[in-house]
Chain A
Amino acid sequence: MIRSAKTAVAWLICAAAMAMVGCSTAYDAAQQSRGAISQGLDQATEAWGKYDRAKQLRIASDAPTKPEAVAALKAYRDGEQAAAVKGINGTWAAVVSLDASLAAWKAGSKGGLAPALAAAYARLAEVVAALTAAGVPIPGGGGR
């Protein structure tokens, strides 16, 4: 389980470094990194799904009456849940952009790959740091 945002970011840097090992070209390295990013995001998404379910059930169970439960659930869904969904979807969007940059590189337009890769890593780091701060355990993240 990741215990801090620092550990989460360190894990991402480590994953990026590992992805670079053995890659002969920048394109291969970026492609490997893309795989690492989407894998990390998959794990983060799955962990958040479990956390979200447990949290909502706890909110609903703790409220003594139906109106209070409905109000508490609405507050959670408008706040923390909406932010998490926005972050995760935004990171997937960055991965899709990275895919486009990889395709552009192959077509001869190489300028966009590095910024797209950096953006995807940054978005994933934000998601992992935010989830870690919220207490979401992300498997395979180190810091056990």
Chain B
Amino acid sequence: MSVGAAEVMPWVDLGISLVKMGVEWGTASAERRAALVVEADEKFAACRARVVGLSVVVADNNAAADAVANSKPDAPNPTRLIDHVTAPQVFKSDEHE
């Protein structure tokens, strides 16, 4: 399914976050730069896991429901409808006799 802009939003925010880190990078010490690399990796991994995780759930649920839908007939079965209408009439007639 298409989720549009909502699915992109976490990535946009991640990008903003990375740009801020990039700005800080210019004046950061070697230790701080090492910490920024770790921080960026964590943010990226977390963002990816969340968005991809939800997409997988949705895709899996949709596929399961599609399988049920595809197993249905293309049109109602007329024989069954006739059986459904006539059967109670026959039963009532027998009961009164």
B95 interfacial contact with A, CB 8 Å: no
Closest A residue to B43 using CB positions? A99
Please determine whether A70 and B10 come into contact, CB atoms closer than 8 angstroms.
no
Please determine whether B14 and A69 come into contact, CB atoms closer than 8 angstroms.
no
B69 interfacial contact with A, CB 8 Å: yes
**CB contact list, A53-96 vs B, under 8 A:** 53, 56-57, 59-61, 63-70, 73, 77, 81-82, 85-86, 88-90, 92-93, 96
Please determine whether B73 and A92 come into contact, CB atoms closer than 8 angstroms.
no
Please determine whether B3 and A86 come into contact, CB atoms closer than 8 angstroms.
yes
Which B residues are CB-close (under 8 A) to A100? 13, 16-17, 20
Which B residues are CB-close (under 8 A) to A45? 53-54, 57
Shortest CB-to-CB span from B11 to chain A, Å, is: 9
B64 interfacial contact with A, CB 8 Å: yes
A21 interfacial contact with B, CB 8 Å: no
B68 interfacial contact with A, CB 8 Å: yes
Contact with A along B10-52 (1 / 0, CB 8 A): 1011101100110010000000000000010001001100110
Please determine whether A90 and B68 come into contact, CB atoms closer than 8 angstroms.
no
Number of interface residues of B (CB under 8 A): 39
Which A residues are CB-close (under 8 A) to B9? 89-90, 93
Contacts known (A81-B58, A85-B3, A86-B6); A53 close to B64, Cβ less than 8 A: yes
Shortest CB-to-CB span from A87 to chain B, Å, is: 8
Please determine whether A85 and B68 come into contact, CB atoms closer than 8 angstroms.
no
Q: Can you list 22 A-B pairs with a CB-CB distance of less than 8 A? A: A45-B57, A52-B58, A52-B61, A53-B64, A59-B65, A61-B68, A63-B69, A66-B70, A69-B69, A73-B69, A82-B1, A85-B7, A86-B3, A89-B9, A89-B10, A93-B9, A96-B43, A96-B46, A99-B43, A100-B17, A104-B20, A107-B24
